[in-house]
Amino acid sequence: MTIDSTKDLFVSGLKHAYYTEKRLLDALEELEETSTNEKLRSGFAQHREETNVQIDRIEEVFDQLDVEAEAEEDPVVEGMIEAHEAFMSKDPSDEAIDRFNIAAGQQSEHYEIATYGNLIPMADQLGMDDAADTLEETLREEQDELDSLSEMGEEFDYGELSVSQ
């Protein structure tokens, strides 16, 4: 497929966002299951629910474009998932996992914020006001999730992590 118009670029970005959100459904489940801290676990579970809605929103936008919803593999999200697997293979302690998972969640939120932050002005450019509003709702959720994770990172109780060599 040639990409030489704003619409092509928008559709291409949407396919990557669709892939990313779907992969994050699994990734968020993994983050929840491997975390120990209750607040962190419930935060990941809640964001997983939001992610289901975000996937529906992307499908709505495909609909508005009259383009079939299709996911295109995104190497960035695959890389983040691989990084998590590599970390987990090093036999980390529960506290180390919690702290790593906060950072992993933040990384995915930064990536998604960049993604939606670019798709929204493209939707505006294409005169797709409804699509822009829909994607804006998702962007707000990603920002809220990032804020909440950042707060947990800043207030993290390092416990035994702070004294071990």
Considering the complex, what minimum distance in angstroms separates the CB of residue 156 from Fe ion? Answer: 23
Q: Which part of the chain contacts Fe ion (CB under 5 A), choosing from 37-45, 59-67, 73-81, 107-115?
A: 107-115
> Which tokens hold the place of 100?
């790593």
In the complex, the smallest distance separating the C-beta of residue 154 from Fe ion, rounded to whole angstroms, is 22
Query: Taking CB under 5 A as the rule, which mask of x and - marks residues 66-105 in contact with Fe ion?
Result: ----------------------------------------
Binding piece for Fe ion, criterion CB under 5 A, among 46-54, 56-64, 115-123, 128-136: 46-54
DSSP for the chain, written as a single string: ----SHHHHHHHHHHHHHHHHHHHHHHHHHHHHH---HHHHHHHHHHHHHHHHHHHHHHHHHHHHT--------HHHHHHHHHHHHHHTT---HHHHHHHHHHHHHHHHHHHHHHHHHHHHHHHHTT-HHHHHHHHHHHHHHHHHHHHHHHHHHT---GGGGT--
Instruction: Give the residue, chosen from 54, 106, 107, 115, that forms a contact with Fe ion under the rule CB under 5 A.
Output: 54
Choose between 8 and 49: whose C-beta lies nearer to Fe ion. 49
Looking at beta carbons only, is 95 or 146 nearer to Fe ion?
Answer: 146
Compare residues 37 and 108 and give the one whose CB is closer to Fe ion: 108
* Gap between the Cα atoms of 142 and 112, Å rounded: 7
Please, which residue, 95 or 102, has the CB nearer to Fe ion?
A: 102
Question: Closest approach of Cβ 36 to Fe ion, in Å?
Answer: 24
Q: In angstroms, what is the minimal distance from the CB of 24 to Fe ion? A: 6
Using alpha carbons only, give the angle 73, 82, 39 rounded to the nearest 5 degrees: 105
In whole angstroms, the minimum distance from the beta carbon of 89 to Fe ion comes to 26
Q: How far apart are CA 51 and CA 121, in angstroms?
A: 21
Residues that bind Fe ion (CB under 5 A): 54, 112
